[in-house]
Every structure is written in C-alpha cells, then in structure tokens.
Amino acid sequence: MKKLMNAPADIVVESLRGMAAAHPELRVDLAHRIVYRAGGPVPGKVGLISGGGAGHEPLHGGFVGPGMLDAAIAGEVFTSPVPDQILEATKNVDAGAGVVHIVKNYTGDVMNFEMAAEIAAAETGVEVVSVITDDDVAVQDSLYTAGRRGVGVTVLAEKLAGAAAETGRPLAEVAEVVRKVNAGGRSMGMALTSCTVPAAGKPTFDLPDTEMEIGIGIHGEPGRRRVPLAPAREIAEMLVEPILSDLDFTGGSGNDGVIAFVNGMGATPLLELYLMYGEVAALLEKAGVRVVRSLVGPYITSLDMAGCSVTLLKVDDDLVRLWDAPVQTPGLRWGV
Amino acid sequence: MKKLMNAPADIVVESLRGMAAAHPELRVDLAHRIVYRAGGPVPGKVGLISGGGAGHEPLHGGFVGPGMLDAAIAGEVFTSPVPDQILEATKNVDAGAGVVHIVKNYTGDVMNFEMAAEIAAAETGVEVVSVITDDDVAVQDSLYTAGRRGVGVTVLAEKLAGAAAETGRPLAEVAEVVRKVNAGGRSMGMALTSCTVPAAGKPTFDLPDTEMEIGIGIHGEPGRRRVPLAPAREIAEMLVEPILSDLDFTGGSGNDGVIAFVNGMGATPLLELYLMYGEVAALLEKAGVRVVRSLVGPYITSLDMAGCSVTLLKVDDDLVRLWDAPVQTPGLRWGV
C-alpha cells in the first residue's frame, strides 16, 4: 500500500486537520469529525447536512459553505458516521427552520441518520427531514445496500438543495429539491483498478491488467460484470446506455435538458476525464439528449480507485437557476 | 496500461474536444491545440499565454479565462508545443498591449517559445516578453532541463500575472509579476508511483512497492534519491526542508508571509493531499513561516503518477491582492 499518511487509523482525522488548516472559512470539530461553515448557522435558513464514510473526498466536507452544505459528518473510511456525530451536527446547524439530511442509500448510513433524526426530534424538537439518494442503475442490491446505491446524484443534490436553502426556501421545499433531483438523476460507474482501504492495506478486489469492472460502486462493491479493457468510446457506451434505458432523458413536459456529470474515482487524471466527457457528450447528442450544464472532475471518489462514473440529471428552469446560483466551498465554487 | 482513452496518439486532441464540449466559455482550436477564452482578446489588455506538453492538466488549458490566461497551447504528452502553435496563439491574443509568455524551464519549451516570440516580433510586430519559471529545488540539471525545472510556481504565476493583466497593468509590469513570483517561489516533489506515458504503454520508471522517489520531476524525471516508504510526517519534512534551506521564507522587508501550495501529481486523492497539507502547515509554523493563503489539490499533474509536491511563495500586499482577485477558469475559480 502506497499512501500519503501516517498511521492508517489516523487518516481521517489528520486529513480533516489539514482541511481546517487550509480553509479558515470552515470550522472543523475534530472530536466529532464534523466540518461546519465558520460563521455558524444562518438565522432563518434551513440547515442542510450530509455525511457518510470518508474516502469520497471532496464529498462531503469539501461541499460545506455558502450555497451548499451547512455541515458534513465523516465516518471512518467507507464506514457510516455514528448517530451521536449526526445528532451533534444536526443540533448545531439548526437555526429554527429545520434541518434536511441528505443520505446516500447504504444500510449503515440510512440507519444512523434515521436514529439521529429521531433523537433530534425527541430531545431537542429540531425538525428533520431525511431524503435518501439512490441513483446508481448498476445493481439493485449490493454489498452494503438494500436497493440502489446513492452515488453521483448526491453531489448535484447537495449543490441544488444548498442553493434552495440559501435563497430562503422552507424545509419542505428544500427536501423536495433533493427528492426531485434523486428522481430525475441516474448514474453508472466503472473501475480500471481497485481502491485500497488504509486499514486493510491491500486492494479491495483483484482486477487483472487486461480487465475492468463495469457498474462498480464507490466502495469497490462488485458491479455488473468484468470485461476486457476497451477504448473510451466503448466504455462511454457501457455507462450511458444503462442510464438512458432506465429513464427517459429526451422529453416530457418541463424537461429543459440535462446536467451531464463525468466524475473521477480518485486516481484518474483530468486528461482522461475530459476525454471521457467528450465521448459521453457525443453519445448524448446522438440520443437526442440536450446537455445544458456539465461538471467534469473528481467529486465523489473511491480513495485511489482509477475509473469514472457518469451521472445525468433532468433539469427544468428552476433547477438550472439553482445550479447557476453562487456556491463557495472548497470543492465547488462559482458565481461569488 | 489502464487509461480512459481510445488510441494513444489521439489522447490530447480528444481530451481537448471534451474540454470544448464541457466549457462553452472557452474556444478550442483543435488543429493548433490551443484553448482560448471564447470572447477573444480583451481590448487594451496584455495577453497572457502559457503552454507546454500535455499530461499536467488542469495546467495549462484549465487555467484559461478571466483573471488568468488568455490562451494555453498543448503539445503532445510531455512534449513541447511547436513554434507554429505558439505563434498562432500569440497573434490571436494580442490586443495591442503586447503578450507575456510564461514558460516552464524545459529545453524544448524554452527553445520553441523563444523561436515563436522572435517570429511574432519580426512578422507581426507583436511585442512579446517571455519569462521562465524554474522553481524546483530538487535538482540543478535534469533529463529535459539545463538548470532548475519549472513546476508548481507556474500555477501561482499564471494566477497572479493573470490578475495583474486583467486589472490593466502594462506589459513590463505583468512580466515583472511573473519574475517576482518565480524569484520568491520554490518547490519540491515526490512520487509514490511512476506515471505511464500513453504512447509508451508502460511505466516510465520502476519503483518498488516499498520505495518512493524524493525530488521527482513532473515528467517522471529522476529526483534526488530513492528512499523507503515513510509516514506523511517524514515525507513533509523531506519536501519542506530543502525549500526552506534554499530561500529564507521567514523574514525580510516586504515579506508578508507565504502562499503554501500542496499539489497532487494526478493519482493521489484529496483525502491524502489534505493530510499532507496538515503536516506541511505544522512544519511551517514550527519554522516561523507565516501562511497567509493556501491551495490544495491536483493543479500541475504528471499523468497518473501518485505523489505530491510542495510549493512556497513569498508574498507582499500586492501579491496577496492579486491572489484574491477574481478568477474564472475551469481549474481555479473564485471571487466572481
């Protein structure tokens, strides 16, 4: 295992410590492993939080800031945060307007966020609405999941619901943005190499030099199939086709096109991600899908896995406006 | 070799095609492999261009936009662009106020940019000032270099000179910003793994599972020494110590602190880069070096190499103002 780290057990907290040093606009609670905006909760604004296992950076801590999250909670690598952490963040971001939890669909996350929401309501009266993302078309159930896995759509949901919260929308409407984004978004990923969990010290799975895994999850969970290495053009087809088969992205009322998102898994450089985006864009044009916004880069990663995922999201005028709204976080930043 | 690509010979132009598709705010000349701002030259503004071999993305094409470069020229992977390409970009960004070339110190780049500048002056009367970056303290001469290599400081120079050009400073002053940044900046890098050049199809060098290379260049050029893998804390020392030995970052008149930049080499995820930043920040504090701004992420990469580099830059009030000025490029974006 070759990683820039000290002891494997300290990687998450030491990374958060570096983040705190690099970003004075954030406040990091190292004991609870929570990243907050330094300014504290915004009076009257719905609090928006997310979290999950570490190893997917910049998700979620890199998305804390004006126009996006109020706080992000990190568990151990690929391990859900515990209810106490989530409860702590929930209480601290509440400014009287309630709190939305964005939860990726993994059994541990769903259970722990749910428990935290119940305790928050019972003990403190904070109103919490949880919305689950489950956009991965690759597999129905998985190693850590009942139902579909939550992947790339989570990034888009955090941006779009963050903009909705920032402009003063009430709790139910902010939660509705997340639901709408999850309903209109689909993803599919692939891996060229395995990731290596620091505590394990060796690759999560074996993938021969001549093969790749199509439909991979963001924790190295098995995908749909192993296939021989193929040109980027064919890989793009293997990712786009299942997405377009799962949901109609070409028409329907109120459909003003899509946001197309090509995500890097952690060890794939931008040179290759842009090349993949070119292939995806060409396929979408051929399929009659109109791309109105795009995002290319490593935003929801899987440690040092090489590979990529494609996410498509149906948008209407409102979602495009929310997308274009200012955002100022370490990971996403524009319009401010 | 496992890469998201089609034919190795097409990787640069196909990646540029994807970039054009993803960024309508840019105009990409695929024939000349030049990335421009879509709006064309800004009347009265000094034109600022840079370029070099591909494989270092987002450098340079990802740094084209308001507040940074007017154009970026890409060669083949790890190969200088030819004079014709550089001449074409130079002519197209000139708005009557002259053009600054930022050139990393590699023999091919220096020669080809110089030739293009001479032809531009002779044929078209465009006034060009070239400034070379050579901030790498690791080695004096190298595989592709007489003198020090140009590395991380190039990113900072493009940002700072870009801000100077955007605010209307004349040719000599914009060039002077680049010189000042290069004079006050130092870098040192390391690799955990080799990169693989697409056309070669195999790793550039062999690095055993138990070793790392300290002082690596951004093309996989040999560094100072091979050493056994070590904790991040020790790696940070191996990078920071030679930088602080080379230049005094603690005092002197007009020294208002430093910009500290921890850069990813392409395959190292953000989790590890932030951890490294924490170690670097702790060392700088101990050494009495005051960090006033920071940057953490993969900004000048070496294909799929795992590893990082550290760059420190002395800044005064003027450089801090230029750093904080708005920038709107795919790779760096804030304040707009």
Alpha-carbon separation of residue A216 from A256, A298, B137 (angstroms): 30, 16, 41
Residue B64 carries which DSSP code?
Answer: B
The Cα–Cα gap between A273 and B127 comes to 37
Cross-chain residue pair B272–A17, CB shorter than 8 Å: no
Q: Inspect the interface and report whether the beta carbons of B304 and A274 lie closer than 8 Å.
A: no
Q: Which of B2, B15, B16 is the closest to A229 by Cβ?
A: B2
Q: Is A190 helix (H, G, I), strand (E, B) or coil?
A: strand
Confidence of residue A252 (pLDDT cuts 50, 70, 90): low
Mutate to test the interface with A, among B12, B202, B235, B270 (most CBs of A within 10 A): B270
> For residues B303 and B127, is the Cβ–Cβ distance under 8 A?
no
pLDDT of residue B255: 61
pLDDT tier for residue A254 given thresholds of 50, 70 and 90: low
| Residue A122 distance to chain B (closest CA, Å) | 35
Which residues neighbour B319 within 8 Å (Cβ) at sequence distance 6 or greater? B160, B177, B180, B181, B259, B313
For residue B171, the model assigns a pLDDT of 98
Give the nearest chain A residue to B62 (CA atoms): A270
- Is pLDDT of A320 > 60? yes
Q: What are the structure tokens assigned to B263, written together?
A: 């850069």
Interface subset of B 169-208, CB within 8 angstroms of A: 192-193
Residue contact A275–B18, C-beta within 8 A? yes
Contact A158, A300 (CB under 8 A): no
Q: B20: nearest CA in chain A?
A: A278
Residue A201 burial by CB count (10 A; 0-12/13-18/19+): exposed, middle or buried?
A: exposed
Read off the pLDDT of each residue in A177-195 and give the average, rounded to a whole number: 98
B273–A4 CB contact, under 8 Å: yes
CATH architecture of B12-183: 3-Layer(aba) Sandwich (3.40)
> Rounded distance, CA B43 to CA B276, Å?
42
* Nearest Cα residue to A270 out of B274, B11, B189, B310: B11
CB contact under 8 Å between A276 and B334, yes or no, is no
Among B58, B47, B57, smallest CA distance to B87 is for B47
Question: What is chain B's Cα-based Rg?
Answer: 19
**pLDDT given at position B146:** 81
State the fold for domain B185-334: Hypothetical Protein Tm841; Chain: A;domain 3 (3.30.1180)
Residue A253 has pLDDT above 80, yes or no: no
- Chain B positions touching A228 (Cβ under 8 A) are none
Q: What is the pLDDT of residues A10-43, one digit of tens each?
A: 999 999 999 999 999 999 999 999 999 999 999 9
Residue-wise pLDDT for A197-232, tens only, equals 999 999 999 999 999 999 999 999 888 999 999 999
Residues 11-50 of B with CB under 8 A from A: 11-12, 14-23
Chain B residues in contact with A306 by the CB 8 A cut-off are: 2, 267, 304
Neighbours of B254 (CB within 10 A): 10
Q: How many residues does chain A have?
A: 336
Q: Which residues of A touch B62 (CB under 8 A)?
A: 270
Q: Looking at CA atoms only, how far is residue B262 from chain A in angstroms? A: 10
Q: Six-digit token pair at A302?
A: 């899987």
A319 and chain B: CB distance < 8 Å anywhere? no
| Shortest Cα distance, chain B CAs vs residue A244, angstroms | 20
- A165-178 pLDDT, tens digit per residue, is 999 999 999 999 99
Q: Give the residue numbers of B marked as catalytic.
A: 56, 219
Amino acid in the structure at residue B141: D
For chain A, say whether B279 makes contact (Cβ under 8 Å): yes
Window 100-139 of B, Cβ < 8 Å to A: none
Contact (CB, 8 A) for A130 and A85: no
- Rounded mean pLDDT of A154-163? 98
The first and second tokens of residue B159, run together, are: 């940002």
Structure tokens belonging to residue A260:
């197309």
What's chain A's average pLDDT? 96
Mutate to test the interface with B, among A33, A226, A271 (most CBs of B within 10 A): A271
Question: Would you say the CATH fold of B185-334 matches that of B12-183?
Answer: no
Listed in sequence order, the DSSP H helices in chain A are: 11-22, 83-93, 107-119, 153-166, 171-183, 232-246, 270-286, 317-324
Burial of residue B122 (CB within 10 Å: 0-12, 13-18, 19+) is exposed
Chain B residues inside the 8 Å CB shell of A11: 271-272, 275
CA gyration radius, chain A: 19
Do A271 and B232 make contact, defined as CB atoms within 8 angstroms?
no
B281 closest CB neighbour out of A21, A279, A281: A21
Rounded to a whole number of angstroms, the distance from the CA of A191 to the nearest CA of chain B is 10
Nearest CA to B37 out of B84, B70, B73, B67 is that of B70
Domain ranges of chain B: 12-183, 185-334
pLDDT at position B252, please? Answer: 63
- Residue A4 to residue B308, Cβ atoms within 8 A: yes
Residue of chain A whose Cα is closest to the Cα of B61:
A271
Q: Residue A225: in which H helix or E strand, if any?
A: strand A225-228
Residues of chain B with pLDDT under 70: 252-255
Set of chain B residues whose Cβ sits within 8 Å of the Cβ of A324: none
CA distance A2 to B230: 10
Give the separation between CA B225 and CA B235, rounded to whole angstroms: 13
Furthest C-alpha separation in chain B:
56
DSSP string, B257-278: -EEEEEEE-BSS-HHHHHHHHH
DSSP line for A281-297: HHHHHHTTPPEEEEEEE
Residues on chain B touching A3 (C-beta within 8 angstroms): 192, 272
Min CA distance, A126 vs chain B (Å)? 32
